[in-house]
Chains A and B, each alone.
Chain A
Amino acid sequence: MSALRILVPVKRVIDYAVKPRVNKAQTGVETAGVKHSMNPFDELSVEESVRIREKKSAPGGVEDICVISAGPPKAADVLRTAMAMGADRAVHVDVKEGEDLEPLTVAKLLRAAVEREKSNLVILGKQSIDDDAAQTGQMLAGLLGWPQATQASQVRFEDGNRVLVTKEVDGGVETVAAKLPMVITTDLRLNEPRYASLPNIMKAKKKPLVKLSLSDLGVANERRLKVVKVTEPTPRQGGGKVEDVDGLISKLKELGAL
């Protein structure tokens, strides 16, 4: 089996635990001064790649784990985190703050990156939690003409470049097999990402981080979609509180339920 050269795309998004707020102009969510972290699904991809190496689960071994992120200068932070988790090196594709890329553009730049890095396995999150598009992995597979296994909950390797991917479907699990090179997207049950340890954070600082521009990868930020408006969900009608049973009964009577 050929040695794995894994490409792991990661995205910097508003922290999962922070409540996003719509900006005043209703054109997007407020990002300034808001805590950002790695997209949780991408943490799973990084963790899985590192585990494949540590557990020696691929017969040909892992030759390279390269993480890539397209985003503003701060995207370098999540790349460092990924390297602290165990990735070997990073590629930062510089995109100006606020210039979001559509999934197709991301897929195109990843295709170019796959060629550049000679990757034979791409592990991506099934979606990023900011725009929830859940398209990039599929488009990338299409552009490359590679097989894809989406929403992986388990990844196993066999001889002859065969990869078995299990995914959770309604009422059970489904296992698919394909041959390398291929694209895998990750789902929540795949693993439990590790914490970045101090020694590894320090090592990560010394790992190579290459900066590229979109044009280096031969893509332009073409937009096909226009965001018309972003609004908050309609606020939930708060429930009322009653003091005691008598209060409950009179309230129910008042509402005509009794």
Chain B
Amino acid sequence: MSCSSRLTPVLRRTIAPCLLRSANASNCVPCAARRISSTATRRLRTSPRRCAKFTTDTYPEIKRDPRFAQITKEHVAFFRELLGKDSALVDGVTADVSLEDMEPYNGDWMRKYRGHCKLVLKPGSTEEVSKILKYCNDNMLAVVPQGGNTGLVGGSIPVFDEIVVNTSRMNKIRFFDEVSGVLVADAGVILEVADQFLAEKGYIFPLDLGAKGSCHIGGNVATNAGGLRLLRYGSLHGTVLGIEAVLPDGTIVDDLGRLRKNNTGYDLKQLFIGGEGTIGMITAVSIHCPQRPKAVNVAYLGAESYEQLQQAFREAKNHLSEILSAFEMMDSYSQDLVYKVRQNKRLLEGEYPFYCLIETSGSNPTHDSEKLEAFLDQLMTEGIVSDGVVAQDETQIKSMWAQREGVPECLGHWGGVYKYDVSIPLSDLYRLVDETRERIEKAGLKGDTDEFPVVEVAGYGHMGDSNLHLNVAVRRYDKRVEEVLEPFVYEWISKVNGSISAEHGLGIAKKNYIGFSRSETMINLMKQIKALYDPNGIMNPYKYL
């Protein structure tokens, strides 16, 4: 026998879960990642398959602000001199840069937005960011802060020729305290990298989301991302202890506190959390990280109705209380599309109109399993859920999460997605999906063949946070679809006192609709803040307010 065959047991072992489960988890993690992370990871493709339409064509009413200067050779020379190396800028002004090289900064992952950016800067330090912004402010050059470019509302994409200031070179972890769990890191650290660093120390990043392999923690804070475990660890408004940021005039706001309690004046860092880069650029974050749970359990359940799902949620809080770490809901439309795209085996034998994924995180496996069992027992005996599976090992945990986390990506499979990320009181939450589907069907826009723009109307989301993702998967973006959806969706949400943007932010997508969720007074106060910190309006123009 050749020596290769003697090697096979070893090789096979190393690749076991991938082979074992490849049909279930198409985004199987390389096995080098033998670490306790409960969710699967993936890097998002940044280069669009089909080129998106320019944002300026989609929104012809947006005009370039004439106060902004055009980028000149002199400007580029200044930046080149400042940053010192060629790799720190992508220069489409004085040099020839292929469309392909510029595309990752100019387009988004949904192929929905596309800018005319000609210059990308990648500063390596807070001082460089400060000098860049000051120069831009003095010369009236508009700027778009950019992290991992995974945002879903077009916030990180320039509209015209704004300069992209990208954080990818600011990627150092500055400090970690093993006793308190306080992490201080540069804005450009990739979320998953931060979490892996913490895993080694027995801690966990208090935020987790499907884009973790690409998004930056600065971007996460700038969008106040919610994610999969907000239910457990709370919002970034609570976990972020401090921020270092640069204002448009170059002022470095050093508020990188490491204290949980600090009642000394206005809490200004909160303005940057969810500020979407409109008043300054975040350069570093200090964040309080919880202990990594030693015991994680995941169950994936099928239910006959949305009412049953709500009952299951009530019971989950009741039985699992402090160990409940996620309650995610998915309707059959969203799950069927994932199976269709990935061609993987169904988790449950039967098909149900609703599914949910429940996760517990705790410190004592025996205690947690006992609670989970009692809970699931009750769900089954009382007929609250119809069927379900419980992960027996880490690999199964990952496959179950992949079935939830894979939804946004798979919905985009046919070309595009209209996404609405909304907060709605739980009792009304799913009704919006049904009514939207009805409208789309009535308008004759949905069908199985190419002539219909709409593939499916699906609902899923963080049910534990009353946060619904209403997604309309389309073959192409189409004005007729938009007209059926808007302002209908926004009016609907306004009527039930919901929020038109639960966690994805405003960006360009929702700029015009903020009035559905905020009063005139509130909007005016926000405008005052913007004018105070960014009087020239160079930070992320045409968006947010």
In whole Å, how far is A123's beta carbon from the nearest beta carbon of chain B? Answer: 17
Q: Which one of A129, A193, A198, A244 contacts B387 once the chains associate, using CB atoms below 8 Å?
A: A198
- The answer to whether A201 and B376 have CB atoms under 8 Å apart is yes
**Which A residues are in CB contact (< 8 Å) with B518?**
none
Answer yes or no: B134 CB below 8 A from chain A CBs: no
Q: Which one of A18, A126, A187, A197 contacts B36 once the chains associate, using CB atoms below 8 Å?
A: A18
Q: Give Cα distance in the complex from A192 to B34, angstroms.
A: 21
- The answer to whether A244 and B391 have CB atoms under 8 Å apart is no
Q: Give Cα distance in the complex from A18 to B349, angstroms.
A: 29
Q: Which one of B9, B16, B377 contacts A16 once the chains associate, using CB atoms below 8 Å?
A: B16
Answer yes or no: A181 CB below 8 A from chain B CBs: no
Interface string of A181-203 (1 = CB under 8 A from B): 00000011100110111110110
A-B contact count (CB 8 A): 104
Interface string of B1-33 (1 = CB under 8 A from A): 110110001101100110111011000000000
Q: Give Cα distance in the complex from A195 to B400, angstroms.
A: 10
Answer yes or no: B395 CB below 8 A from chain A CBs: yes
In whole Å, how far is A197's beta carbon from the nearest beta carbon of chain B? Answer: 5
Interface window among A31-39, A137-145, A212-220: A31-39
| Chain A stretch 208-249: residues in CB contact (< 8 A) with chain B | 243-244, 246-247
Answer yes or no: B392 CB below 8 A from chain A CBs: yes
Q: Which one of A19, A126, A170, A189 contacts B19 once the chains associate, using CB atoms below 8 Å?
A: A189
**Which B residues are in CB contact (< 8 Å) with A37?**
392-394
**Which A residues are in CB contact (< 8 Å) with B295?**
35
In whole Å, how far is B308's beta carbon from the nearest beta carbon of chain A? Answer: 14
Q: Give Cα distance in the complex from A134 to B188, angstroms.
A: 46
- The answer to whether A246 and B389 have CB atoms under 8 Å apart is no
Q: Give Cα distance in the complex from A195 to B1, angstroms.
A: 37
**Which A residues are in CB contact (< 8 Å) with B23?**
192
Q: Which one of A38, A40, A192, A246 contacts B345 once the chains associate, using CB atoms below 8 Å?
A: A192
Answer yes or no: A127 CB below 8 A from chain B CBs: yes
- The answer to whether B392 and A196 have CB atoms under 8 Å apart is yes
- The answer to whether B4 and A19 have CB atoms under 8 Å apart is no
**Which B residues are in CB contact (< 8 Å) with A198?**
299, 301, 376, 379-380, 385, 387-390
Question: A17-B34, A18-B394 in contact; A244/B87 too (CB < 8 A)?
Answer: yes
Answer yes or no: A132 CB below 8 A from chain B CBs: yes
Nearest chain A residue, comparing its CB with the CB of B347: A195
**Which B residues are in CB contact (< 8 Å) with A38?**
392-393
Answer yes or no: B61 CB below 8 A from chain A CBs: no
Q: Give Cα distance in the complex from A132 to B16, angstroms.
A: 13
Answer yes or no: A45 CB below 8 A from chain B CBs: no
Q: Give Cα distance in the complex from A155 to B21, angstroms.
A: 20
Q: Give Cα distance in the complex from A211 to B43, angstroms.
A: 48
- The answer to whether A16 and B380 have CB atoms under 8 Å apart is no
- The answer to whether B21 and A81 have CB atoms under 8 Å apart is no
Interface string of B34-59 (1 = CB under 8 A from A): 11100000000000000000000000
Interface centre among A19, A197, A247 (most CB of B within 10 A): A197
In whole Å, how far is B27's beta carbon from the nearest beta carbon of chain A? Answer: 14
**Which A residues are in CB contact (< 8 Å) with B392?**
37-38, 81, 195-196
Question: A170-B4, A192-B20 in contact; A35/B389 too (CB < 8 A)?
Answer: no
Answer yes or no: A94 CB below 8 A from chain B CBs: no
Q: Which one of A127, A169, A192, A202 contacts B21 once the chains associate, using CB atoms below 8 Å?
A: A192
Q: Give Cα distance in the complex from A193 to B385, angstroms.
A: 23
Nearest chain A residue, comparing its CB with the CB of B34: A19
Q: Which one of A18, A81, A188 contacts B16 once the chains associate, using CB atoms below 8 Å?
A: A188
* Interface residue count on the A side (C-beta < 8 Å): 34
- The answer to whether B36 and A244 have CB atoms under 8 Å apart is no
Question: A16-B395, A17-B394, A192-B20 in contact; A243/B85 too (CB < 8 A)?
Answer: yes
Interface string of B172-186 (1 = CB under 8 A from A): 000000000000000
**Which B residues are in CB contact (< 8 Å) with A16?**
16-17, 393-395
Q: Give Cα distance in the complex from A199 to B295, angstroms.
A: 23
**Which B residues are in CB contact (< 8 Å) with A189?**
19
- The answer to whether B35 and A19 have CB atoms under 8 Å apart is yes
Answer yes or no: A15 CB below 8 A from chain B CBs: yes
- The answer to whether A202 and B380 have CB atoms under 8 Å apart is yes
Q: Give Cα distance in the complex from A244 to B17, angstroms.
A: 36
**Which B residues are in CB contact (< 8 Å) with A19?**
34-35
Answer yes or no: B450 CB below 8 A from chain A CBs: no
Q: Give Cα distance in the complex from A110 to B502, angstroms.
A: 58
Answer yes or no: B365 CB below 8 A from chain A CBs: yes
- The answer to whether A199 and B36 have CB atoms under 8 Å apart is no
Q: Give Cα distance in the complex from A192 to B373, angstroms.
A: 25
| Chain A stretch 3-31: residues in CB contact (< 8 A) with chain B | 15-19
Q: Which one of A40, A132, A170, A243 contacts B1 once the chains associate, using CB atoms below 8 Å?
A: A170
Q: Which one of B299, B348, B390, B394 contacts A35 once the chains associate, using CB atoms below 8 Å?
A: B394
**Which A residues are in CB contact (< 8 Å) with B212?**
none
- The answer to whether A201 and B87 have CB atoms under 8 Å apart is no
Answer yes or no: B483 CB below 8 A from chain A CBs: no
**Which A residues are in CB contact (< 8 Å) with B387?**
197-199
Q: Give Cα distance in the complex from A246 to B345, angstroms.
A: 48
Answer yes or no: B223 CB below 8 A from chain A CBs: no
| Chain A stretch 50-90: residues in CB contact (< 8 A) with chain B | 81
**Which A residues are in CB contact (< 8 Å) with B75?**
none
In whole Å, how far is B325's beta carbon from the nearest beta carbon of chain A? Answer: 16
**Which B residues are in CB contact (< 8 Å) with A40?**
16-17, 20, 393, 395
Interface centre among A17, A126, A201 (most CB of B within 10 A): A17
**Which B residues are in CB contact (< 8 Å) with A33?**
294
Q: Give Cα distance in the complex from A37 to B385, angstroms.
A: 26
**Which B residues are in CB contact (< 8 Å) with A246?**
85-86
Q: Which 7 A-B pairs have the closest CB atoms?
A: A17-B394, A37-B393, A244-B87, A195-B389, A19-B34, A198-B388, A170-B5
Could you jot down 14 A-B contacts, CB within 8 Å? A17-B393, A17-B394, A18-B394, A35-B295, A40-B17, A132-B13, A192-B21, A193-B20, A195-B347, A198-B301, A198-B376, A198-B387, A198-B388, A198-B390
Known: A15-B393, A129-B16, A197-B349. 14 other contacts (CB 8 A): A18-B35, A19-B34, A33-B294, A169-B5, A188-B19, A192-B24, A192-B345, A195-B392, A198-B385, A198-B387, A199-B380, A199-B387, A201-B376, A202-B377
